[in-house]
Amino acid sequence: TCPAELTEITTNTQDSEEEKNNTSTQEIVSPEDYIKHPLQNRWALWFFKNDKSKTWQANLRLISKFDTVEDFWALYNHIQLSSNLMSGCDYCLFKDGIEPMWEDERNKRGGRWLITLSKQQRRADLDRFWLETLLCLVGEAFDDHSDDVCGAVVNVRAKGDKISIWTTDFENKDAIVHIGQVYKDRLGVPPKVIIGYQSHTDTATKSGSTTKNKFVV
């Protein structure tokens, strides 16, 4: 074999090695590694701190918006757990464009499925229930009725905490009952424990300390 042929063989071997390396590199770097997973909706997380020297609106602050799975977890892992919030504080997760208040156009005719937790349950259940609520929302867990969901709220209070899922129309019975049943199952609430749905109108105009349920599951 003459030197020229040897050089050619060596060059060809190097070329094929480079091709092999390039191919294996392409196989290793998957789109999964750098493409974020989009959510069906863009969501906004709000925080409410009860400062009596300010108006209700001034106490409500937008924390961040997200529309991918990765950004949801990045946000969730960098904020305080619900159980660590001071009494009187709320977290609210709502679809982008819907403000977490009864007066918002999408909430006006709506209502909420309400879970009430005793003080003893805060340590055991509050954070788990709230995370499951968030996953129900961002994961569109309510099938065809997910469009009826506006958002969710956790209220941390001295007397007992509350978690609620808000829907847009209290007259849309099929959607509301389906959402309530799925929600109850996802939280693992025992069948014998009843959870109720109340319209915002009834809650705003109630005369006593409790609001009458429109639906129960």
Distance, CA of 196 to CA of 170 (rounded, Å): 12
> Where does the pLDDT of residue 26 fall: very low under 50, low under 70, confident under 90, or very high at 90 and above?
low
Sign of the dihedral defined by the CA atoms of residues 41, 140, 92, 204, in that order: positive
- Candidates 3.40.718.10, 3.30.590.10, 3.60.150.10, 3.30.760.10; CATH matching 36-216: 3.30.760.10
Mean pLDDT confidence for 94-121: 94
Residues 175 and 214 sit within 8 Å (Cβ to Cβ): no
User: Rounded to 10 degrees, what is the CA torsion of 197, 201, 204, 206?
Assistant: -70
Provide, for the chain, the percentages of residues in helix, strand and coil under a 3-state DSSP scheme, each rounded to the nearest 5. Answer: 40, 25, 35
Instruction: Determine the pLDDT at residue 211.
Output: 86
> Where does the pLDDT of residue 10 fall: very low under 50, low under 70, confident under 90, or very high at 90 and above?
very low
Q: What is the pLDDT of residues 77-101, one digit of tens each?
A: 999 999 999 999 999 999 999 999 9
> Where does the pLDDT of residue 71 fall: very low under 50, low under 70, confident under 90, or very high at 90 and above?
very high
Instruction: Please tell me the least confidently modeled range out of 7-16, 104-113, 118-127.
Output: 7-16
Reported pTM: 0.83
For the chain, the average pLDDT equals 88
Residues 152 and 167 sit within 8 Å (Cβ to Cβ): no
Instruction: Determine the pLDDT at residue 65.
Output: 98
Q: Is the pLDDT higher at 93 or at 25?
A: 93
Which stretches of the chain are DSSP H helices?
3-28, 56-59, 69-76, 119-121, 127-138, 173-187, 200-205
Strand segments, DSSP code E, in 129-214 are: 149-155, 161-167, 196-199
What share of the chain in percent tops pLDDT 90?
Answer: 72
Token pair recorded at residue 198: 């109340």
Q: Hunting for tokens 């409790």 — which residue is that?
A: 210
Q: Is the pLDDT higher at 142 or at 205?
A: 142
Count of helices and strands (H, E) across the chain: 7, 8
Token pair recorded at residue 42: 């863009």
Task: Check pLDDT > 90 for residue 107.
Answer: yes
Mean pLDDT confidence for 213-217: 96
> Where does the pLDDT of residue 143 fall: very low under 50, low under 70, confident under 90, or very high at 90 and above?
very high
Q: Residue ranges of the domains in the chain?
A: 36-216
